[in-house]
Structure 1
Amino acid sequence: MVVSKVDKYLDEHNIFWFKINRPEKRNAIDYDVMSELCEAISFVSRNEKIRAFFITGEGTKSFCSGGDLSIFHALHTKEEAYEMLSRMGETLYSLCTLPVPTYAIINGTAIGGGCEIAAACDVRIAYSDSKMGFVQGNLGITTGWGGASMLMEKVTHPHAVMMLNSTKVYTAKEAKELGFVQRVISEEQLPLLHEEVKASSKVLRSYKQAIIMKWKQSQLKQRMLAEIEQCSILWEMEEHHQAVRSFLEGKK
């Protein structure tokens, strides 16, 4: 039996849930998940009854571990890397500018690209035992999906620099102190998250337009693509390929 890599559904509160369902891969992103996320964003954008978009991962161990290196390590050149990175970057910009409020429900570890997905959302709510960090520097690359540009829109400049440059993995409490996480909850509080969005769809979408206008004026998309270009240059360097080989060999 083929198990779907994502679960998508609209709940009784007209909140659309997108759950990455690859727990055996720590809910890593591959091309199939990319496509599913893009389709879900398009669906929510068109359906005016939907009041919010929640993204999470299957289980309680991992929200998302970023890109699936067992697949993406086959990309060697700048051009190959840019094709994949820009595809996901465009998707995350669409998530960032989705006309409804977006919430990352961080239900476990969120590292690398997982943190970039979280940064694309308006609000980040984390389980108390979750951990998160922009660890891309450990692989000889920068954020590859536009995450740094989005992070700098969500936290103060000094805190963004700290999170990016240190490659540190933070606890949920520490991430809240930095302003990256807005609420820390227990798993038992998950059914109550619909209370975060009590207003009508029209009101919620009107509020979201205000911030979308700001991001368009500040050319967020162009900044993200420039960031992705820089990552693709580093991607083809031997430092990155050696770091990925060491990582994959360490998992065997």
Structure 2
Amino acid sequence: MTFNNLIVENSDFIQIITISREAKLNALNRETLRELNLAIKDVINDKNIRGIIITGAGEKAFVAGADISEFSSFNSAEGKELAKEGHENVFNLIENCQKPIIAAINGFALGGGLELAMACHIRMASANAKMGLPEVTLGLIPGYGGTQRLPKLIGKGRSMEMILSAKMISAEEALANGLINKVLEDKSKLIESANELMQSIVQKSPNAIKAAITAINASNTSDGFNQEIEEFSNCFGTEDFKEGVNAFLEKRKANFNY
């Protein structure tokens, strides 16, 4: 599939999606969101791809927010539809994807860009990255899940401070607060490091990875423990379980089929 705003590369069961609007600091316009929806759906249905890395083009930004020019004249009803479409078609799609997704944050991740990163399962950043949710400076609040995902990652108090003050934080502060998993001092190593982590994930049982993502996401609900029990028990009926146990007992590396 050909995209106008994305560069898609496949290698060793991993797809790297680069948001490529460098002149606009990779801002998310409607076309880019539509293309992200299509790209993620393609991966969901592609048995040759087991994981996704999302990053931004250029040296400055992962995604520096939404494209404000597209919604500057919206009324309340149009704003509601904008947020609803984004949630359903991109951000929730990413969070609930049963294939692991890593955000490789190579620069500014602001507004919708940080919300995109937070929807991913794992976040890594270069040392120069800056993160924030500056929507209140526009008379808005985060509309793509920022008020919900940020408190789950860094706590209510820090989230209130970030969102209400609209301040940016450094990669090191984001790491200390639990917003990201790792900081790469050498920016050129970011994708390489993300790829190494993803390779270590996709070599594991595909069925178990899916079950783990589903169970972990269910921790956001009151039924999380029951969901874990269901996913755990379902694993026992899979070929992956048989192969994993046999490999352990035979003291060899498991060979999982996707």
TM range (shorter): 0.7 to 0.9
Structure-1 residue corresponding to 2:70:
71
Q: Kindly provide the CA deviation profile for residues 145-183 of structure 1, in whole angstroms up to 9, marking residues without a partner as x.
A: 122112222222222222222211111111111111110
Instruction: Could you list the structure 1 runs, at least 4 aligned residues long, displaced by more than 6 angstroms after superposition.
Output: none
Structure 2 unmatched runs, 5+: 225-258
Structure-1 residue corresponding to 2:134:
135
Structure-2 residue corresponding to 1:10:
10
Cα distance in 2 for residues equivalent to 1:85 and 1:173: 30
Cα distance in 2 for residues equivalent to 1:140 and 1:195: 41
Instruction: State how many pairs are aligned.
Output: 216
Structure-1 residue corresponding to 2:214:
209
Offset, 1:217 = 5.0
Cα distance in 2 for residues equivalent to 1:118 and 1:206: 22
Q: Kindly provide the CA deviation profile for residues 79-106 of structure 1, in whole angstroms up to 9, marking residues without a partner as x.
A: 1111112111212011111102221111
- The 5 A counterparts of 1:1-252 are 4-12=4-12, 14-75=13-74, 77-90=75-88, 91-185=90-184, 186-189=186-189, 190-197=191-198, 198=200, 199-200=203-204, 201-215=206-220, 217=222
Q: Kindly provide the CA deviation profile for residues 37-88 of structure 1, in whole angstroms up to 9, marking residues without a partner as x.
A: 111121222234422221111011011111111222132x101111112111
Cα distance in 1 for residues equivalent to 2:65 and 2:8: 19
Cα distance in 1 for residues equivalent to 2:118 and 2:34: 19
Identity %: 28
Higher relative contact order (CA 8 A, sep 6+): 1
Answer with 209-218 or 151-160: which moved more: 209-218
Structure 1 unmatched runs, 5+: 220-252
Offset, 1:111 = 0.8
CA RMSD, aligned part only?
A: 2.1
Answer with 151-160 or 98-107: which moved more: 151-160
TM-score (norm. length: structure 2): 0.77
TM-score (norm. length: structure 1): 0.79
Q: Which of the pair has more CA radius of gyration?
A: 2
